[in-house]
Each structure stands twice: as structure tokens, then as C-alpha cells.
Amino acid sequence: MSSHWSTVTRVVTVCESSIIFFIYGIFLYLLAKNTKVSQSFQLVLIIVAVHGLLYAFNIWLVLSAHVFHHGHFSVPLYGPLVQLLPKFMQDMSMICLTIFSYLIWQLIPGPCLMQYLALTRPQLNIYYRLLISYAITIFFVVYDYFFVRELVPTPEYERIIQNTSREAFDIDPNEKFVVYGLPFGRMPENDNRTCITLALGCVVSTYFASYLIFGAIILMIRRHLKSFGVKLSEKTLKMENAFYKMQLLQSILPVVVISFPIAVFIIPSITSSDLGPATLSMTFSVWMVPMVQGSVFLYYLRTALRNQKSSQPRPQQMSDIDACEVASVQCESVRLRKPKLGLSQEELDKMLKSSFWKPMRALCFVLYWAILAALITGSVLIVLFGIGVLE
């Protein structure tokens, strides 16, 4: 029979991952349905949506919790499906889940840098801009891997954290689960790897680096706009302000939500304190962050589409909802001394006929329905397993 806390973890995690999945499903549907969102903005939103979907699927697959007990940090995986995977795939599932969690803040500099490049280097190919913008995130992912792989325990240490996890959550001795983790101090049984190295070297460093880069790019954008002395129209100012609000909200709200779980993680790592089932608050808070980010992006996408429908663009009127494209075109016009204020209808039609979007929409469509089918089927099995029906 499953313990009370492992059952709570299974049920709540399935519910949270399902909500995340449907938020980003609606998000992708609206994005695919609309054909007048700028190419750079679509790429940013697709990256956000794909991260959200893969993150939700990984949460649902592993059904993990966080345990701080007797000087050990452990992550038991209660998902019955992950237990059927080979050891290598179990390890990769844990590593991917952890990196997806860190990407919550490590993806933040990308959209801002994309905006800055559109403003200062509009002549660059869109894919070069994309690569440059997310080079920081790619570096973070590689950097994360060398720290996160240390969560995979040695066989001797795995037995230790199996016992501490059972004791902390009062798990039945016959209940099976996969576990990963690190001790707070050095232990020969785990090759002297410690949780403090992961907390300070990976979590704290990339967390503050991401927000410092984000703040610096925002200041650079503001200064660059002022340096041209361009007098922006009221409509353009509204679009710019909306873009800034979206960036700030999707950056600040995760800070508010994730500050508590990060504190829960850092403080016990330093003090070696035992938190017992209270660490589930960290687990459930971390899974709430993609919900918050997805809701922010969904709100602004719906607002932008609603504003687009309410206006009737003329041939020389701006038909793009991305504020960074507006600013880049205007600044380029100042440099060239041409009265061009936006994309013409012909240029817009040419962009929309690009061969890039058909396979991209097809990929998103297949990904969404494949994960939906697996999520519905697996969720029923997981809940039945959690309440003991299938045992």
C-alpha cells in the first residue's frame, strides 16, 4: 500500500502537469491559428511553448518530490512508468527534469536579447539572431549538465537515500521508487560529492546571472531607443509598453513563486536541517512556475490578437504585433532617412509564405496530440496506482 505522502505527490503532480500541458496547448493553438505574428516573436513563443510542454511531460513522467532528511537531499521518483525504463533512461529523465527546472530562469535573457538584436542589427538573418539570443541559454544547459549529473548516486549511497526517503515520508517498505540525491557534506560512499556544490555552483550562479543579463539588456534597449531621438507614435508606445510588461511579468512572477522553494533548497543545504513532508511545498511551488509563465504569455498573446482584430490595417500601416520589430524598423528608417514606418502588405505576405512555418506547425500539432494521448492514458494508470487499486 502506498504511503499518504507519496499518494498526495502523485495526485497533485498529475493535476499540475495536466494544467501546464493544457495552458501551453491553448497557447500553441492560438499561435498556429494566427498568421500575422512576426517571425521573431513566433520563434520566441514556440521556444517557450515547447519548453513548457516537455517540462509538463517530464513532471508527469517522474512524479518526483524533494526530501531533506538527516543531512541528505534526495529526489524520489514515484512515477510507475519511469520505473519501467532502463537505468540510463531513468538517469536522463532526472537530469532533464532538473535542467528544465533551471531553464525557467535561464530562458529569460533570450527574448530580451532577441529584441535588442532586432533593434540594433535588423540586417541579420532571423536564425542568426535566434542563435545569438539563445547562446547564453545553450551555455547554461551545458554548464548545468556537469553539475546535475552528480545527482545520480553510487549504488552504496543510493541505498542510504532510499532509507532516508522512506523514513521522511513514512513510505511502506514494499513500495518501489527510484531515488536520486546528494549529501550536504562529503561522503566517501558518494565520491565526496555534495549538495552545496550544486546549490551554489549551479542554482545560485545561473539564477543571478540570468537576471543580471536581463536587466542589463533592458537598459541597453532603452538607451538605444533614446539615442536615435525617434518620436514614437501612441500606438507604437503602447505596443512597446505591452512588450516590456510581458517581459517583466514573465520574469518577476517566477521570482516571486520560486524564491520560496529556492530558499527551502539553499537553507537546508547550508544548515543540514530536516524538513520532512514540508519539502512538498517546494515541489508543488516549483511545478507552479511554468503555469504562471504560460498564463502570462497566453494573456498577452490573446490581448495582442484581440487588438489586431479590432484594427483594420492599411497597406502602409504596421501589421506586426512585436514591439521590437517596430522599434528596429523605425531606427533603420532614421539611419537611411527613408519614410518607411513598417512592413508593407507585400512584405508581410512574402514573410508569411515562408516554408519554415508549415513543418513547424505540423511538428507542434503532432507533439501536442501525442503527449495528450500519453498523458490521459498514463494519468489514469498513475492515479489508480497511487490509491492502491493496481497494487
User: What does 288-337 look like in DSSP terms, one character per residue?
Assistant: HHHHHHHHHHHHHHHHHHHHHHHS---TTS-----HHHHHHHHHHHHHHT
CA–CA separation, 323 vs 240, rounded Å? 5
Query: Residue range 100-110: average pLDDT?
Result: 88
Query: Residue range 174-190: average pLDDT?
Result: 86
CB atoms within 10 A of CB 70: 16
CA–CA separation, 372 vs 374, rounded Å? 5
Closest CA to 94 of 76, 106, 112: 76
Element holding 342 (H helix, E strand): none
Per the CB < 8 A criterion, the answer to whether 326 and 239 are in contact is yes
Query: Taking the model in full, what pTM does it have?
Result: 0.71
Judging by DSSP bridges, how do beta strands 67-69 and 178-183 pair with one another?
A: unpaired
- Whether residue 136 is predicted with pLDDT greater than 90 in this model: the reply is yes
The band of 147, judged by pLDDT with boundaries at 50, 70 and 90, is: very high
Q: What is the pLDDT of residue 311?
A: 57
Per the CB < 8 A criterion, the answer to whether 339 and 333 are in contact is yes
Identify how many contiguous H helices and E strands the chain contains and give both numbers. 14, 3
The band of 152, judged by pLDDT with boundaries at 50, 70 and 90, is: very high
C-alpha cell at 357: 512555418
191 φ, ψ to 5°? 60, 30
Query: Residue range 308-318: average pLDDT?
Result: 51
How would you label 185-208 residue by residue, b for 16+ Cβ within 10 Å and e otherwise?
A: eebeebeebbbbebbeebbeebbe
Per the CB < 8 A criterion, the answer to whether 267 and 15 are in contact is no
Helix (H, G, I), strand (E, B) or coil at 105: helix
CA–CA separation, 64 vs 78, rounded Å? 6
DSSP secondary structure code for residue 64 in this structure: B
Query: Residue range 169-191: average pLDDT?
Result: 84
CA–CA separation, 264 vs 209, rounded Å? 20
If 0-12 CB within 10 Å is exposed, 13-18 middle and 19+ buried, where does residue 325 land? buried
78 φ, ψ to 5°? -95, -5
Q: What is the pLDDT of residue 341?
A: 37
Q: What is the pLDDT of residue 317?
A: 43
- Whether residue 319 is predicted with pLDDT greater than 50 in this model: the reply is no
The band of 52, judged by pLDDT with boundaries at 50, 70 and 90, is: confident
- Whether residue 74 is predicted with pLDDT greater than 60 in this model: the reply is yes
Query: Residue range 276-280: average pLDDT?
Result: 67
Q: What is the pLDDT of residue 308?
A: 64
Amino acid at site 331: C
Write down the mean pLDDT value for the chain. Answer: 74
Query: Residue range 249-276: average pLDDT?
Result: 63
The band of 41, judged by pLDDT with boundaries at 50, 70 and 90, is: confident
Q: What is the pLDDT of residue 386?
A: 46
Contacts of 117 (CB under 8 A, 6+ apart): 124, 129, 132, 133
Q: What is the pLDDT of residue 92?
A: 92
CB atoms within 10 A of CB 386: 23
Higher pLDDT, 53 or 350: 53
The band of 344, judged by pLDDT with boundaries at 50, 70 and 90, is: very low
Per the CB < 8 A criterion, the answer to whether 65 and 78 are in contact is yes
- Whether residue 387 is predicted with pLDDT greater than 60 in this model: the reply is no
Task: Compute the half-sphere exposure of residue 346: CA atoms within 13 Å on the CB side of its CA.
Answer: 0
Query: Residue range 87-107: average pLDDT?
Result: 90
Per the CB < 8 A criterion, the answer to whether 297 and 48 are in contact is yes
Q: What is the pLDDT of residue 246?
A: 65
- Whether residue 254 is predicted with pLDDT greater than 80 in this model: the reply is no
Per-residue model confidence as pLDDT tens digits over 199-248: 888 888 998 899 899 888 888 887 777 665 555 556 555 666 666 666 66
Domains assigned to the chain: 4-309+318-386 (1.20.1070.10)
